[in-house]
Chains A and B, each alone.
Chain A
Amino acid sequence: MAKKQDKKHADSASDKAILDFGKAQNYTPAPESTGHIRLKKQYELFINGTWVKPSKGVYFDSVSPSTEQVLARVAEAGAEDVDKAVKAARKAYTEVWSKMPARERGKYIFRIARIIQERARELAVIESMDGGKPIRESRDVDVPLAANHFFYYAGWADKLEYAFPGKTPESLGVAGQIIPWNFPLLMAAWKIAPALACGNTVVLKPAETTSLTALKLAEIIEESGLPAGVVNIVTGAGATGAAIVNHPDIDKIAFTGSTEVGKIIQKAIAGTGKKLTLELGGKAANIIFEDAALDQAVEGIVNGIFFNQGHVCCAGSRLFVQEGVAEKVIRKLTDRMASLIVGDPLDKNTDVGAINSAEQLKKIQEYLKIGVAEGAEIYQPTCSIPTKGNFCKPTLFLHASQSHRIVQEEIFGPVLAIQTFRTVEEVIEKANNTPYGLSAGVWTDKGSKIFNLTSKLKAGVVWANTYNKFDPTAPFGGYRESGFGREGGLHGLLPYLKLS
């Protein structure tokens, strides 16, 4: 079945992609130099302001998903190490951070923001090497947003009483934070900045495939002079995360990752009194109406699903096109996809970089098979992909239906399932027919339709005539099984405070 469909895919590619530039599209490579960066061969754990060897002496490799080279060896924190980090965070909280005037706390966070800006290029290059995302994205999105997030929350540190009139905001204590591999530095910023601004100390664990920029952030934190123990960064995999979640002296858990793990965490901390925020999976509907500016909408579809190889919890992975323009939109979309460049994440021409890990690539490939087996029609452009490293062509599934697994389940890759609809009521029904509720997109030239949909879509973020926009001032987070709590904006303070 799969073999037959592969052949069909080749046929549909030549049928559909009118704009096939062939070799004329081959850009001269424009790779970003890696000469400017400083990477150590081995990274220890950042605990209490110093670099500490893991108690069990275990290390793991951080591998580039594009070159498959080992970039550095990273310490694996065991339960003893996590305990050490929590103790350091508790001590720093009790003795220093909770006593420091809010204004001074803010000034440390401003410093961190400034040093990130100063070292932006190094961080962007390492992010792309370690995680596989195109340098254009790490340079123009991840790193500046991370710096801005610190800058934004720095300003809140001495203004908290204005955010919650009539209440006295107080810090919680020690926050345990577990972040994913899709936006490694940015997620660290989303977690650490509001926690510190609200007066908490932090134990943060980056994802095991993307530890490096979090460790560079630890260096930056050292450089900023932040008191020892206020931020501790422990590297490792699921077991390290579990040790954080289950540590009795942690007051708050913030987790970004899969809904599956989110449920385990929510259950694990039940009854402990720990405060929790979860930012989990998504299966966002991106809805194109007949009256939309179609060329813009096509750009939005591409950005919605192929940004960061589709490793985005809010990716617009379900496309709903109104019937009258479906053919046109799909033609424009396949034309546009023919010009996407898949390849070296460090190349400034690259649109779609490397899949973050071999494991994730395998999962995506399984979904491609499932989609075909379920009867959807697969389309991929004829572009070449590197033979080495984890790469996946941008993929569409036409004629998908609500019951398909590729429509119901989060793939977390560059795979778009396309359905059509006739009426507003129908598309709202279909869009909301998912356990998730993180985000949605609406494309129409009619403002009243936008506001009608924003009020009816069960999603924490709705983008109208745009997609995948993020800003430190804008709250982000989900409905339903996409989690609870918001990150960003005034709302993003609440998860790190108790109001009395």
Chain B
Amino acid sequence: MAETRKKTTAKAVVSVNGAAPKTTRLNVLKTYKIFINGQFPRTESGRYYPLALKNGQTVNVCLSSRKDVRNSVTVAREAQEKWAGRSGLNRSQILYRIAEMLETRREQFIDELQSCGETLAQAERELNASVDRLVYYAGWCDKYTALFGTVNPVASSHFNFSTCEAMGVVTVVAPEESGLLGLISAVAPIIAGGNTCIVLASEKMPLSAVSFAEVLATSDVPAGVINILTGQRKELLAHLSNHMDVNAVYLHSKDKAEHTLVEELAALNIKRSVCEYVADWFDAKEENPYRIQQFLETKTTWHPVGI
């Protein structure tokens, strides 16, 4: 993407200098926007931050605001009940569809990962692992309740069972160093379990996150289920953690002070908080159903047995 811009600029310069251009066609460049409620607005704040790419080009990335967070929470809340109400099979097929769409856009993602600093081999590996991770969690959507649900042999004459339910709306501070695989590894288990989320993308590597939103927009993911913001972690961390209509917060960070901040703010409304740091998202241990479970509630139902 960025390389294309470079070429185009070079051609334009030739043209201005009066030499006959070999081609008159100017490439159309992509605006990197945020993703709220299935649409691609710019941040309501109108702000941006410049992101220098490896090839020397610079793109303008939305610097999302507290208001963007709040708007996202509203739509995520609206979408949540319906999303959780879909059958496991249906959520499974939608996650699989995301994988299909991501795979078909692999060239674009590999290109963008490279422009954010990866080698071709690294970018290919990350794309492959990202697609496979989506397929992995697609497979869990209609299975985790069979692992985490139980029928409880209570001593009285009751049929007693525990099932899993989504927690609700989850805010996600995505891994900073793994722009695509880290984001997918954090988000896929959350939505697999029927939650909806607001994701703050990696500040240094936001391009894949924005392009991933374009994948989501063409994957039958209902509007509002995943909302993706770009911006500064320092600015938005507190807003993502203290919102009173958010049920859980996921923070990926090396910084213990950030963990403390999020955990303290989570206490405002007894948010569930998961703060961690994963050094290697390629590690097979990092994909498991317990990543779904940590954003589930357990509901136990009692029913009498008798005449």
Chains A and B are bound partners: yes
Q: Which A residues are closer than 8 A to B by beta carbons?
A: 103, 106-107, 110, 148, 151-152, 154-159, 162-163, 424, 447-449, 451-452, 455, 472-473, 489-490
A107: which B residues are within 8 A, CB to CB?
135
B126-155 interface bits toward A, Cβ cutoff 8 Å, 1 = contact, 0 = none: 000000100110111111001100000000
Q: How far does the Cβ of B262 sit from chain A's closest Cβ, in whole Å?
A: 29
Q: Would you give the shortest CB distance from B54 to chain A, in whole angstroms?
A: 31
Q: A148-B89, A490-B146 are in contact. Are A159 and B140 (CB under 8 A)?
A: yes
- Whether a CB of chain A sits under 8 angstroms from the CB of B232 is no
Judge whether B159 and A154 touch: CB under 8 Å.
no
Stretch in B29-37, B61-69, B298-306 with 4+ CB within 8 Å of A: B298-306
B residues contacting A by CB (< 8 A) are: 88-89, 92-93, 96, 132, 135-136, 138-143, 146-147, 159, 288-289, 303-307
- B303–A110 CB distance below 8 A: no
Q: Let me know if B306 and A106 touch, CB within 8 A.
A: no
Contact sample, A vs B, 27 pairs, CB 8 Å cutoff: A103-B135, A106-B139, A107-B135, A148-B89, A151-B93, A151-B96, A152-B92, A155-B92, A155-B140, A156-B139, A159-B139, A159-B140, A159-B289, A162-B147, A162-B288, A424-B307, A448-B306, A448-B307, A451-B303, A452-B306, A452-B307, A473-B88, A473-B142, A473-B143, A489-B146, A490-B143, A490-B147
Q: Considering only CB atoms, which chain A residue lies closest to B99 in the complex?
A: A110
The reply to whether B139 and A158 form a contact with Cβ atoms under 8 Å apart is yes
Q: Please, which residues of chain A bring their CB within 8 A of the CB of B140?
A: 155, 159
Choose one: B88, B96, B305; the contact of A451 (CB below 8 Å).
Answer: B305
Question: Nearest residue in B to A473 (C-beta to C-beta)?
Answer: B142
Minimum Cβ distance to chain B for residue A445 (Å) = 13
CA distance A158 to B307 in the complex (A): 44
A392 nearest CB across to chain B (Å): 35
Among A155, A447, A455, which residue has its beta carbon within 8 angstroms of that of B143?
A155
Within the assembled complex, what's the spacing in Å between the Cα atoms of A210 and B138?
33
- In the complex, the answer to whether A455 meets B135 with C-beta atoms within 8 Å is no
Minimum CB distance partner of B146 in chain A: A490
The residue from A106, A156, A449 contacting B135, defined by CB atoms under 8 A apart: A106
CB neighbours (8 Å) of A154 from chain B are: 139
From known contacts A159-B143, A424-B307, A452-B306, infer whether A103 and B132 are also in contact, taking CB-CB under 8 Å.
yes
Question: Shortest Cβ distance from B98 into chain A, in angstroms?
Answer: 13
> In the bound complex, what is the Cα–Cα distance between A464 and B198 (angstroms)?
40
Contacts of A452 in B (CB 8 A): 305-307
Q: Are B303 and A447 in contact (CB under 8 A)?
A: yes
Please determine whether A455 and B88 come into contact, CB atoms closer than 8 angstroms.
Answer: no
Bound-state Cα–Cα, A155 to B136, Å? 7
Q: In the bound complex, what is the Cα–Cα distance between A151 and B141 (angstroms)?
A: 11
A162, B93: Cβ atoms under 8 Å? no
Q: Which residues of chain A are near B306, meaning CB under 8 Å?
A: 448-449, 452
Least CB distance, A157 to chain B, in whole angstroms = 8
Bound: A364/B74 CA distance, A: 61
> Which chain B residue has the least Cβ–Cβ distance from A471?
B89
In the A-B complex, list the 3 residue pairs whose CB atoms are closest, starting with the nearest: A155-B139, A451-B305, A448-B304
The docked-state distance in angstroms from the alpha carbon of A326 to that of B84 is 41
B289 to chain A: closest CB distance in Å? 6
Given contacts A148-B89, A151-B93, A155-B92, contact A110 B135 (CB under 8 A): yes
Q: Which residues of A contact B289 (CB under 8 A)?
A: 159, 162
A472 to B143, CA, bound (A): 10
| New contact pairs (17) apart from A158-B136, A448-B304, CB-CB < 8 Å | A107-B135, A151-B89, A151-B92, A152-B92, A152-B143, A155-B92, A155-B139, A159-B139, A162-B289, A447-B303, A448-B307, A449-B307, A451-B304, A451-B305, A452-B305, A472-B142, A473-B89
Say how far A54's CB is from chain B's closest CB, in angstroms: 38
B residues in contact with A110, CB < 8 Å: 96, 135
Shortest Cβ distance from A108 into chain B, in angstroms? 12
Docked complex Cα distance between A466 and B62 (Å): 53
B contact residues around A472 at 8 Å (CB): 89, 142
The complex places the Cα of A154 from the Cα of B142 at a distance, in Å, of: 12
Query: Could you tell me if B304 and A447 are in contact, using CB atoms closer than 8 angstroms?
Result: yes
CB distance from A5 to the nearest CB of B (A): 40
B307 touching A156 by the CB < 8 A rule? no
- Evaluate contact between A152 and B135: CB separation under 8 angstroms: no
Establish whether residues A103 and B136, one from each chain, have CB atoms under 8 Å apart when the complex forms.
Answer: yes
A235 to chain B, nearest CB (A): 31
Chain A residues near B303 (CB-CB < 8 A): 447-448, 451
Closest to B287 in A: A158
Specify which chain B residues have a CB less than 8 angstroms from the CB of A148 in the assembled complex.
Answer: 89
Closest residue of A by beta carbon distance from B136? A158
B159 contact set on A, CB distance < 8 A: 451
**B residues in contact with A473, CB < 8 Å:** 88-89, 142-143, 146
CB distance from B161 to the nearest CB of A (A): 11
Closest beta carbon of chain A to B94's beta carbon, Å: 12
**Which residues of chain B are within 8 angstroms of A489 by Cβ–Cβ distance?**
146
The residue in chain A whose Cβ has the minimal distance to the Cβ of B132 is A103
Assembly CA distance A155 to B135 (angstroms): 8
Residue numbers in B under 8 Å from A158 (CB-CB): 136, 139
Assembly CA distance A151 to B90 (angstroms) = 11
The distance in angstroms between the C-alpha atoms of A394 and B228, with both chains bound, is 57
Least CB distance, B207 to chain A, in whole angstroms = 27
Taking CB atoms, residues of chain B closer than 8 Å to A163 are 147
Residues of A near B132 (CB, < 8 A) are: 103
Chain A minimum-CB-distance residue to B144: A162
Docked-complex contact B305 and A448, CB < 8 angstroms: yes
**Contact A155 B142, beta carbon cutoff 8 Å:** yes
Q: Measured between C-beta atoms, what is the minimum distance from B181 to chain A in Å?
A: 15
Q: Contacts A107-B135, A162-B289, A451-B305: A152 and B146 contacting too (C-beta < 8 A)? A: no
Question: How many Å lie between the Cα of A489 and that of B88 in the bound state?
Answer: 13
Q: What residues of B have a CB within 8 angstroms of the CB of A151 in the complex?
A: 89, 92-93, 96
Nearest-neighbour CB distance to chain A for B185, whole angstroms, equals 15
Task: Determine the residue in chain A with the shortest Cβ distance to B288.
Answer: A162
In the bound complex, CA of A442 to CA of B135 (Å): 39
CA distance A489 to B145 in the complex (A): 11
When the two chains form their complex, are residues A152 and B96 in contact, meaning their CB atoms are under 8 A apart?
no
* Complex-state Cα separation, A162 to B143, whole angstroms: 10
Q: CA separation between A2 and B236, bound complex, in Å?
A: 84
Contacts of B143 in A (CB 8 A): 152, 155-156, 159, 473, 490
* Cβ of B52 to closest chain A Cβ, rounded Å: 37
